[in-house]
Amino acid sequence: MKHLVRTSKNLGHAIRQARKAKNLTQKELASMSGVWQETISKIENGSGGTKLETVFDLIAALELEITVAERSKGTSDGLEDIF
């Protein structure tokens, strides 16, 4: 699944979905990423203001990757997902 991320809420969804897909609890993800469970909770719920590094830590632990590219003009390339 490919997530378009424009807001913290989007990011939260993407992360929660990836975590669930791997059957991890927030606490487990916490210990593998070094990010506190409480913080993960906030992030998954889209509370803004998160620091980039924290996101990178989670992304890495979940074996996801972030890409930045020109806004696709409706290419609808792969199946996308936006909330």
* Cα distance between residue 26 and residue 42, in whole Å: 11
The one of a copy of itself, DNA, none whose footprint includes residue 68, by CB under 5 to 8 A per kind, is a copy of itself
Q: Which two tokens stand for residue 61?
A: 């632990």
Judged by beta carbon distances under 5 to 8 A according to partner kind, the member of a copy of itself, DNA, none in contact with residue 58 is none
Nearest-approach distance from CB 5 to a copy of itself, in angstroms = 4
Closest CA to 26 of 9, 41, 8, 43: 41
For 63, the 3-state DSSP assignment is coil
Q: Is position 80 an interface residue for a copy of itself (rule: CB under 8 A)?
A: yes
Q: Which does 46 bind (CB under 5 to 8 A by kind): a copy of itself, DNA, none?
A: none
